[in-house]
Amino acid sequence: MATNMARNNPIVMASLEKNIFEHISLMAQEQIELEYRDELQQLQQMQMMMQQNPQMAQQMQMQAMQIQQRIESRKAQLIAEMMEEFMNEEKKITSQFDNDPIAKLRSRELDLRAMENDRKEREGKERMDLDKMKAMMNQQNQDEKLDQNEELAKLRADTSIEKTILSKTIPSADSMMKNTENMVPNVEIMRKG
């Protein structure tokens, strides 16, 4: 962790820490296996007995849970102690390059780059959101235009149908008018006559 490659590369540092955490967990598990060897063997025997004798399974299950809780509690305690040790060692290492002005400059440079990358990512997301919004609005406008065009087409069709109906009824109306005009003079002639 004290090497320049690890100090100047957060990805390497994160990988190292992950590996250390895995080792801490493995070390705690090994310590548990040593400390609770008899209890672990007893758990295996209980599991075999529970399979053979289902009547005693509930009672044995309670005992098994108690043993497992003790083991897990001890394992958590071991991990906490080892993590504290690791944190103290890590502080010693990092305090060494906290006093190094070049390391501070590089750290500041990395922070600035991270902030710049974050800003660019936010701007990119905002642009994408804006483009999505524009596309949705365009789609909505197109849908509205299609609806309007359909409505206009229906109105045109209705108008055309009405014109057709009127054109057929108007000639018959004209002929009726002519017939009534012919009748009206005849009526007057009759009155005169």
What does DSSP assign to residue 1? -
| Within a domain: 185 | no
Q: Does residue 28 contact residue 82 with C-beta atoms inside 8 Å?
A: yes
Domain assignment of residue 44, given as a range: 4-99
* Res 45 pLDDT > 80: yes
| Within a domain: 93 | yes
Residue 53 tokens, joined? 């004798």
| Within a domain: 76 | yes
Q: What is the pLDDT of residues 16-33, one digit of tens each?
A: 889 989 999 999 999 988
| Within a domain: 126 | no
Mean pLDDT computed over every residue of the chain: 81
Q: What's the whole-model pTM score?
A: 0.43
How many whole angstroms separate alpha carbon 91 and alpha carbon 83? Answer: 12
| Within a domain: 145 | no
Q: Phi and psi dihedrals of 2, rounded to 5?
A: -85, -5
How many whole angstroms separate alpha carbon 10 and alpha carbon 13? Answer: 5
Question: In the chain, how many domains are there?
Answer: 1
| Within a domain: 114 | no
In this prediction, residue 40 carries a pLDDT of 85
In this prediction, residue 191 carries a pLDDT of 54
Q: What is the pLDDT of residues 69-97, one digit of tens each?
A: 988 999 999 999 999 998 888 888 777 65
CA dihedral 30, 32, 36, 41 (to 10 degrees): -60
Q: Does residue 119 contact residue 23 with C-beta atoms inside 8 Å?
A: no
